Structure 1
Amino acid sequence: MQTIDMTEFQSIDLRIGTIVRAEDFAKTKKPAYKIWVDLGDLGIKKSSAQITFHYRPEELIGKQVLCVCNFAPKQIADFMSEVLVTGFSDIEGHIVLATGDKPIPNGAKLH
């Protein structure tokens, strides 16, 4: 594993936000959802997420998720993904979202 120093870690803008909208994303090669995340002062940002195995769109609403906010936007089919919603692979390789275990203000940074 490659190591990084604290300066490199601090250059990654990791923030918590609340999913306010989610819908199927039929135009992707792999099953995915279009997700809108309220990131407080940063506003509502869009993301494409391949999380269809463990989640349905309606159960994502209100869930807080950890996002990488300073990646360059990425065009996915006809949708511009502005943040990366993070998660972990379960034993079968399906993504489980990275979340907080208590309510956190939208836009709060990871320390």
Structure 2
Amino acid sequence: MQTIDYKDFDKIELRIGTIIRVEQFEKARKPAYKIWVDLGENIGVKKSSAQITLHYQPEDLMGRQVVCVCNFAPRQIADFMSEILITGFESDGGGIILTSVDRPVPNGARLF
């Protein structure tokens, strides 16, 4: 594993947001959702494409807080511009388990 120093970690904008909208992403090559995340007053609502269909249904995602990388360059995926990366961990059986918090925190709060 490569080591980094704190200056490198500090460049990554990891922030919490609340999922406010979810749609099936029909044009994605692999099963995915289009997700809109409210990242608070200073950042606003940002979009992401997420391949999390194995463990989550759209109705289960609404209102859920997730940890996002907010300062990656936007990425075009089919006809959808993904502006943030919603983080997660690969599960033993495949698929992604979302990174979250155990108590609500303000949207836009930064992970340190």
Counterparts of 2:58 and 2:23, CA distance in 1 = 6
TM-score calculated relative to the size of structure 1: 0.99
> Aligned ranges for residues 99-110 of structure 1 at < 5 Å?
99-110=100-111
Which residue of the partner structure matches residue 92 of structure 1?
93
TM superposition shift of 1:93: 2.2
TM superposition shift of 1:53: 0.5
Counterparts of 2:74 and 2:22, CA distance in 1 = 18
TM superposition shift of 1:92: 1.8
Instruction: Tell me if 1:69 matches 2:70.
Output: yes
Which residue of the partner structure matches residue 13 of structure 1?
13
Which residue of the partner structure matches residue 35 of structure 2?
35
Which residue of the partner structure matches residue 25 of structure 2?
25
Deviations 1:11-43 (A, max 9, x none): 000000000000100101100000000000200
Percent identity (aligned): 67
Counterparts of 1:78 and 1:49, CA distance in 2 = 14
Moved over 4 A (4+): none
TM-score calculated relative to the size of structure 2: 0.98
Unaligned runs of 5+ residues in structure 2 are none
Deviations 1:25-70 (A, max 9, x none): 0101100000000000200000000000110111101000000000
Which residue of the partner structure matches residue 3 of structure 1?
3
Counterparts of 1:93 and 1:53, CA distance in 2 = 8
Unaligned runs of 5+ residues in structure 1 are none
